[in-house]
Structure 1
């Protein structure tokens, strides 16, 4: 195995008060710096299933959890790690030892001290075992040493280059050992009343309505957060969300909160701002999972036919209003060190699709239909439903009938990843800064049978692909890892168990007088500790 230097390693790593959604109560001049006070009202759509990103790392869970849990590090727009609970760290020249020096004086929200024991316990009991992105990344941690309460030493049997890309509060969540040790982690009641070290403290969750976090008065970063309260509002209807934002009843709304047709109009309003920064850490890719256990979809020619039947450029333009570009590979072009543009592609070609379906033995019947499938779309908003309708029309042209099935997020996760009772599902995965984190979980057979959300929904098994994934996980030479990922892309794009559709570009809508809300590359999954109102939010209803 090739050895690597420290420089290489670092380079690779590199409510009731809803009506109180008003600006600050201490209205000093903005020129004096950030202003303390106020309640920020936030769109949370859909409602999360749980509030702690342990085994469920769904988008709404992470939006909340990023405000409750700090991580060892956080990420700037350049995606380089910056200190958070770890003030500093050293990497051994061979990459087999990493030493973290923890911040002193940090407490959990219940007043207990945060120590190295919490990090050690979380790594051994969560990151290495049940966290869907981290199991492979940390499996080569052979020992965790804690020489004192504020030092954590990780010993590796083999290098793990990507880990410095996942050490924020949701990427590698640190849980309070004193509340979790000896319990059933997945069913621990604190998963839904989380206790973290972050800038905001869980207060209340009235399901179907709102969720409240309050300012942590003992936060280690003195003077922060500036806001007194965060109120996450559950508003399922897209038109109602747009109206609430326009009226100033909501001042922060991430992840494409309104229909695309409303974006241009809202961006033109003087009291609002549309922001596309803050998602750099994600690199999200929209895709279809094709259930390879289905009697039709198990034939690679059928999967390739479906790929030829979908016009990705039209999908981007018609459904996603240009907030996404056609994907070439499951590893997006934003990951330049790994992306391979030479992979097999499937240009829009309905005639080719029909020929492949004929060749597979599925000819049109007297009614023009070859066979029927069901499509389950990610229930995160109208964009995903319309993606399902686009697929329905695309496949109808080549003789495949598609029934669209809607459900809430809990039912969707159970159907696709536990019961496997689906034909085609649509979703998105964040690729993150390294494919080992967000991409390979869609293809590695080791996840099959675990019922873990957003892992190998297609049911794909390929020993050669597994070997490449496992090689990349422990390879110490960045060039050799990139080569393994290029080979991986060639195979999975030939087999197409998952069809990459678009590299998405999410947007956030927020009040123009909300400052400090977008300051880092992992912002949407980080905290709003730096956010503050520059003057009163005059358009919001007044409250206490």
Structure 2
């Protein structure tokens, strides 16, 4: 089983993305730009949906925190780009030994915390030792293979693993890898003491969070003097705020409302990629879903293109690995829309008059269930929908595995390991997949590791262990005065250091 911290991370991410994710299909468009001069004293106003309950990213998981705090307030030795590629951050460079066990990092010069204290390797060691030894710290599970963390000198950090882990460096790009001041007594729930290009200046709970440029930042100074995040949970209210000029950027635009922003002429809409997997889970351990013919029939019955059009969300995904993750392969050859073949398979399995229940957290709405009800009815399957509170879903589906079908957005990157864990709520148990996944983690060559993941993902899809209704995308409305606002993966983090705002013409 995953440790508690892993479970909480999934739960919070699911809950957060249920609110933040609105998407549509299509290719990214370049953001409009202004011909006015960049104003270094400008304030960037950003509309977001989900406000964090507190600011303690060490003990609280969820996209709402990572989205605004990582890279802006807090930094790690490494970070990741919008394409999920790993790059150095607090470390000027790093290396991994040939056996994949020893990670060596050299710190950048001149890094200081926001209280003025210089960053040393001792701060990194203390931060990571807490992650390794304290199960309440975010990322504890990702440090399970860490055997030692040492500081040979003030500028060097060395981490030794007990066994190779291809995902370890990527784990350091998340909350687990953030560096905090050793012995700091800052109340992280309401304040901060990071090393990033911005400092926290104000939090009006229920309304706004404001950052200011850190003049002591060790790297390139932020392009704006301040950032104000406005939390607008109602999608219509968000669009109205944008049209009224209250925000320069609106994230998570509802696709049904996007034309209002386009028609206003005041915004360019960008469509960004994510690692969100809209997953129709099958209870592989429970009859009749333990029959691969039934699972395949259900997948064949779904008109994915029509579902995406109805939901206004995403691009087709035929396997468990999205495009931004290692091991992605187009698996559209595995399954297609074929209701007649679905009927044949159900007949072979003796399930012509099948009745199933879809358990779904209520905040996901009714669009996807309605499409599934209609598609399944065409092949003789009656689908009942049980829309429940999230706490009930956690208890019944996630914990007790008491369900037939379920629908949630799995948002975490590199979470293929769920299909290599027979105790996970999918109930999927395939020894070959588990072996390939273990090999992929232990493989020190990233390309070979990705190839092993691709092999495992194909098996999972050919076993029809689940159906992936779509790979989510996010729509962002950007005013012409804003340049450099990220497009991809912004439901998990928004690096604002390079964003600029121009004066109006």
User: Fold conserved (TM > 0.5)?
Assistant: yes
Q: Paired residue for 1:145?
A: 150
The within-5 A match list for 1:319-398 is 319-320=311-312, 324-333=314-323, 338-341=327-330, 345-364=334-353, 370-377=354-361, 379=363, 385-397=366-378, 398=380
Q: Alpha-carbon deviation of 1:283?
A: 3.9
What is the CA deviation profile of residues 198-218 of structure 1, one whole-angstrom value per residue up to 9, with x for unaligned ones?
A: 233445555554444444454
Give the TM-score normalised by the residue count of structure 2.
0.78
Using the TM superposition, give the Cα deviation of residue 189 of structure 1 relative to its aligned residue in structure 2, in angstroms: 6.8
Alpha-carbon shift at residue 62 of structure 1 (Å): 2.0
Q: Aligned in 2, Cα 1:401/1:50: closer, same or farther, shift over 3 Å?
A: farther
Give the structure 2 partner of residue 267 of structure 1.
262
- 1:286 CA displacement: 2.4
Q: Does the C-alpha gap of structure 1 residues 222 and 307 become closer, same or farther in structure 2, counting only changes over 3 Å?
A: closer
Does 2:452 correspond to 1:488? Answer: no
Aligned equivalent of 2:442: 474
Task: Give 1:333 shift.
Answer: 4.6
- 2:43 maps to 38
> Any gaps of 5 or more consecutive residues in structure 1?
1-28, 181-187, 365-369, 433-437, 449-455, 539-544
**For 1:327 and 1:217, how far apart are their aligned partners in 2?**
44
Compute the displacement of 1:247 (Å). 1.8
Question: Within 5 A, what are the aligned runs for 1:125-204?
Answer: 125-126=130-131, 138-168=143-173, 170=175, 172-179=177-184, 190=188, 193=191, 195-202=193-200
Paired residue secondary structure (1:506)? strand
Choose the corresponding residue for 1:219, options 214, 217, 224: 217
Structure 1 residue 233: Cα displacement: 0.8
How far, CA to CA, are the matches of 2:290 and 2:346 in structure 1? Answer: 13
For 1:81 and 1:425, the matched residues in 2 are separated by 33
Could you tell me how far 1:174 is from its partner in structure 2?
Answer: 3.2
Q: 2:4 maps to which residue?
A: none
TM-fit CA distance, 1:474: 0.8
CA 1:297–1:216 in structure 2 vs 1: closer, same or farther (change >3 Å)? farther
Partner of 1:441: 417
> 1:225 and 1:420 mapped to 2: Cα distance?
49
Report whether the alignment pairs 1:401 with 2:390: no
SS at 1:488 equivalent: helix
Distance verdict in 2 for CA 1:476–1:524, change over 3 Å: closer
TM-score of the aligned structures, taking structure 1 as reference length: 0.73
Counterparts of 2:411 and 2:125, CA distance in 1: 26
> What is the aligned length?
469
1:223-242 aligned at under 5 Å gives the runs 223-224=221-222, 226-235=224-233, 237-242=234-239
- Given that 1:392 and 1:401 are in contact with CA atoms closer than 8 Å, whether structure 2 keeps it comes out as yes
Gap change, CA 1:520 and 1:149, over 3 Å in 2? farther
Counterpart secondary structure, 2:76: coil
Query: CA RMSD, aligned part only?
Result: 3.8
How far is 1:40 from its partner?
1.7
Distance 1:355 1:227 in 2: 64
Give 1:527 shift.
Answer: 2.5
Separation of aligned partners in 2, 1:425 and 1:204: 40
Which stretch shifts more, 296-305 or 206-215? 206-215
Q: 1:502: which partner in 2?
A: 470
Higher mean displacement: 399-408 or 200-209:
200-209
CA shift at 1:312, angstroms?
1.0
Partner of 1:535, secondary structure, is coil
Q: 1:121 to 1:374 in 2, by over 3 A?
A: farther
1:72 aligns with 2:62: no
| Structure 2 residue ranges without an equivalent (≥5) | 1-34
1:248 aligns with 2:245: yes
Secondary structure of 1:153 counterpart: strand
What SS does the corresponding residue of 2:474 show, helix, strand or coil? coil
CA–CA separation in structure 1 for the residues paired with 2:487 and 2:337: 39
CA deviations on 1:372-424 (whole Å, 9 max, x unpaired) are: 41331484x66xx422332233234332222151546x776566544556543
| 2:90/2:107 contact within 8 Å kept | yes
Per-residue CA deviations over 1:218-277 (Å, capped at 9, x if unaligned) read 433364362324223132x322222222222222223xx222233244235332121235
Distance 1:401 1:511, change over 3 A: same
Which residue does the alignment assign to 1:462?
430
In structure 2, C-alpha distance between the alignment counterparts of 1:274 and 1:225, rounded to whole Å = 22
Match in the other structure for 1:19: none
Task: Check whether the contact 2:44–2:224 (CA below 8 A) recurs between aligned residues.
Answer: no
Aligned to 1:427: 408
Q: Aligned partners of 1:109, 1:234: CA distance in 2, in Å?
A: 29
